[in-house]
Amino acid sequence: MHWSAQFLARQSSQLFGRRLQLYLFGLPGTIVHEGSHVIACLLFGHRVDRVKWFDPQAVDGALGSVEHSYNRDSAYQRVGTIVIGIAPLLAGAAVLWIAARLLLGVPVVRLADLAEVAVWRWALFAYVSLSVGGSMHLSASDVRGTWRGVVTLGIWLGVVLLLSLTLWWALSQIAPTAWPAHVAPVLQQAATRLARASDALARALQLSVAVNVAGAVLLFVVRRLVRVTR
């Protein structure tokens, strides 16, 4: 997703200019990127010390940044570092899924249905794919701050797994029909819903990649034609 968006960004930058490309496409994506960090910080009780929403003149090339602090003795806040770090991926995927659903009607029954979508809807979806999809990446600082949370989350998952196995064993001994009759159907229903949501999200991301690549190829051809006419 990020590679295809950056491919399209390079073509548009060379055609329209770097400054126009940044403000037209980089600004919305950077706001979504940094905004996702801020929201995740608030959800996990982190203190937001400083937010740089958009700075195209940054020397290090980072268009935005979020500085935050937290209580390292809090297991909840340590786990939050994971969500804060990957928040741009989650938020970007959510925005693309909503755009695909509202503009293109994804999920669709037949691929032929996509051909009936109005051109302006495809154009708007392409804009969202480029601006938001171009910011769906993790910087080194995003990844660096998650290691404490990974350790804590690993311990939590181990405890949950142990408790689940203990519950399954206890029910199999005390009430053998309880698990297959009551617990298993609930888990299967939850898994089915998760699978449907995952499929819809995958289709949205695949469409975004396809639109980005098609747009990049189109702009490349336009650039060649403009160069020839000059």
User: Sorting pLDDT into bands at 50, 70 and 90, what band is 39?
Assistant: very high
Q: How many residues does the chain have?
A: 230
**Residue 109 reports pLDDT greater than 70:** no
> 55-64, 111-120, 168-177, 216-225 — which is least confidently predicted?
55-64
Task: Please state, in angstroms and as integers, the Cα–Cα distance from residue 176 to each residue in 166, 169, 181, following that order.
Answer: 14, 9, 9
Yes or no: say if 159 and 57 are a contact pair by the CB < 8 Å rule: no
Q: How far apart are CA 78 and CA 83, in angstroms?
A: 10
Average pLDDT over every residue of 210-225:
82
> 12-16, 57-61, 121-125, 143-147 — which is least confidently predicted?
57-61
Domain membership of residue 165 as a residue range:
2-229
**Residue 60 reports pLDDT greater than 70:** no
User: Sorting pLDDT into bands at 50, 70 and 90, what band is 162?
Assistant: very high
Q: How far apart are CA 78 and CA 150, in angstroms?
A: 8
**Residue 108 reports pLDDT greater than 70:** no
**Residue 61 reports pLDDT greater than 70:** no
Burial class, 19, CB count within 10 angstroms (exposed 0-12 / middle 13-18 / buried 19+)? exposed
Yes or no: say if 9 and 21 are a contact pair by the CB < 8 Å rule: yes
Is the pTM of the predicted complex or chain greater than 0.75? no
Number of compact structural domains in the chain: 1
Name 98's Cβ contacts closer than 8 Å, sequence gap at least 6: none
Which runs of E-coded beta strand occur in 9-60? 47-52
**Closest C-alpha among 92, 102, 101 to residue 131:** 92
- Ramachandran quadrant class, 105 (left: phi over 0; alpha: psi -120 to 50; beta: rest): left
